[in-house]
Chains A and B, each alone.
Chain A
Amino acid sequence: MIRKKSLSAPYLVWMVLFIAAPLAIVVYYALTDKSGNFTLENLMTIGRYSSVFARSLILAAIATVICLVLSFPVSYFLSRLRASKQKIMLMLVMLPMWMNFLLRTYAWMSLLENNGIINRLLGLIGLGPFQMINTSGAVVLGMVYNFLPYMILPLYTAMTKIDDSIIEAAQDLGAGTIKTLLRVLLPLSAPGIATGITMVFVPSVSTFIISRMLGGGANLLIGDLIELQFLGNSYNYNLGSAMSLVLMVIVLLCMSFTNGFDDEDMEGVV
């Protein structure tokens, strides 16, 4: 036992140095003012930015739902393919992830611009131009595009464990397509859905690159706000730390919600 425990020592050191210690520092700054005195003012000030928090949560939630709706059929289709084909198709799903994140987002910028490729093509058939860049829609699009594979993969993994005969059993007992989906497929995919939601929602709610590049100044998100406190003109790392802390609590709450759902529904599955 002791020997097995000692194997985790390197990670333990890592955790203390790079996770626990920075977290403590964040908490310290969040609860102090510039001269180092204890204060709750940073946390109180955040109320002023509640609209930004709300926008972040809403846009991230919309992106997560879109990812889920898009991924569910794709993942099911993938999980029913023959093993050899599954590998190729999974590669295709992952392919965009091999390209640099910034590059991908830049590509969307030039696509969505007022005189970008899409508007010019639409112009050829006499439509537009449409305002696409610098809208909240563009931000959601960027989130969905970048984080979609993180939804597909866990869903696919959960679904490969569902044997064809279980689907057939549901049909045999009188369930049509919708009933099979609701009563069998959905509950059995729940662990994948929970993981997928966490893996899409968390990076979406804290992103700042996507909102900056595709959303313009009007679609500021929490991530941008925090960045401004450390690198921007406002430069107030006490407030920035407080914001990070609040964001962390929100994410934690969201995760415990999805995990709770997961435990309840999947009791006795493993």
Chain B
Amino acid sequence: MNKIVSLKNIVVGFDDEPVLNGLSLDIHDKEFVTFLGPSGCGKTTTLRVIGGFVQPKSGNVFFNGQDITNFPPYKREVNTVFQKYALFPHLNVYENVAFGLRLKKMDEREIRSRVSEMLEVVGLKGFERRSTTNLSGGQQQRVAIARGLVNHPKVLLLDEPLGALDLKLRKEMQLELKRLQQAMDITFIYVTHDQEEALTMSDTIVIMKDGNIQQIGGPIDIYNEPENAFVASFIGESNIIDGIMLRDFSVEFAGNAFTCVDKGFAHNELVQVVIRPEDIQVVPAIRGQLTGVVKDVIFKGVHYEMHVEQAGYEWIIHSTQASEPGELIGMCIGPDEIHIMRRSEG
């Protein structure tokens, strides 16, 4: 696939505090890419570098192969949906959406048809003359999205656009954004700290921490094959324990040897093992590969979350069947459910 945006060794610092440390990244055309990470990881800064609002200290930004590092925002073929919507309070819905087209000195009839088409797409037909300040959060968000998309940008940047909405609306908008991205057939670059949001919408997820990329991959890859403990703990809940790779396809952890599907590690290499809570099977104690005592059970709706103590380690298990606190249970882990990572610091 064609690279639409490329970042090469981007360095950004505010007040001598490094924010991005030589970040390099290629973004492919027509993908839904999400920058995911905790606050302060540099995800918004990366987005602002692409938008032209942050000038990197060094490094280059390429757009369709052209170096646009020194281009001001208004010369870039990208549009942004801002975190707090940033609608123009002195203009009504129609004029907000038409803003970019008017600057391009477009013909009035063309503007009208494109604005009404876009308002229809985001479900705000009939809102043209409304003041933006009387709209609900979700409606304002739609105006902001329409205002960006109406310019037919090749890339739309979205900076935590759903952060201020309530859960139900957020879920609706997630699906709608994904639908929009596919309908418009352009690249979306989306910033969020919500891992579920990232998993729901993205083709590619870029996980960041402290100004560095931790892992790039599709949602399934990142969930099932986290590259390090940070990614594993940030995407969903995980049991992460130290282990030793005995040989190919065999790993020892929690005082027991397990069969796994990983190979290519050194003999007796120290590794970390990731096991998702829903991948641990609860069995009667005598049949378990490991046995532990249930400490507590929490009802979570679809499943129960149990904390099980085994040889000083507390396992998290998700199961549709509840065990009793204090009960001795057995745990089984299949070879496919064991994910081996090289030992990372911290």
Q: Which residues of A contact B (CB under 8 A)?
A: 163, 165-166, 168-176, 179, 183-184, 187-188, 190, 265-269
- CB <8 Å contact, B103 and A269: no
Say how far B53's CB is from chain A's closest CB, in angstroms: 6
Chain A residues lying within 8 Å of B133, measured Cβ to Cβ, are 268-269
B304 at the interface (CB under 8 A from A): no
Say how far A10's CB is from chain B's closest CB, in angstroms: 36
Q: Which of A173, A188, A265 contacts B99 (CB 8 A)?
A: A173
Say how far B35's CB is from chain A's closest CB, in angstroms: 18
- CB <8 Å contact, B83 and A165: yes
**Which A residue sits closest to B89, measured CB to CB?**
A269
- CB <8 Å contact, A168 and B82: yes
Assuming the contacts A174-B100, A268-B134, asked whether A169 and B88 have C-beta atoms less than 8 A apart, the reply is: yes
- CB <8 Å contact, B74 and A172: yes
A175 to B72, CA, bound (A): 10
- CB <8 Å contact, A169 and B86: yes
Say how far B197's CB is from chain A's closest CB, in angstroms: 21
- CB <8 Å contact, A176 and B74: yes
B300 at the interface (CB under 8 A from A): no
For the A-B complex with A173-B103, A268-B132 known, give 19 more contacts whose Cβ atoms are closer than 8 Å: A163-B84, A165-B83, A165-B84, A168-B80, A169-B80, A171-B74, A173-B100, A173-B148, A173-B151, A174-B100, A174-B103, A175-B99, A176-B72, A179-B103, A188-B88, A268-B89, A269-B89, A269-B90, A269-B133
- CB <8 Å contact, A266 and B90: yes
Say how far B283's CB is from chain A's closest CB, in angstroms: 55
A190 to B53, CA, bound (A): 26
B226 at the interface (CB under 8 A from A): no
Assuming the contacts A168-B80, A267-B131, A268-B133, asked whether A174 and B89 have C-beta atoms less than 8 A apart, the reply is: no
**Which B residue sits closest to A161, measured CB to CB?**
B89
Q: List 28 A-B contacts (CB under 8 A).
A: A163-B84, A165-B82, A165-B84, A166-B87, A166-B89, A168-B73, A168-B82, A169-B80, A169-B88, A171-B74, A172-B74, A172-B80, A173-B100, A174-B100, A174-B151, A175-B99, A176-B72, A176-B74, A183-B99, A183-B103, A184-B88, A184-B90, A187-B90, A266-B90, A268-B89, A268-B92, A268-B132, A269-B89
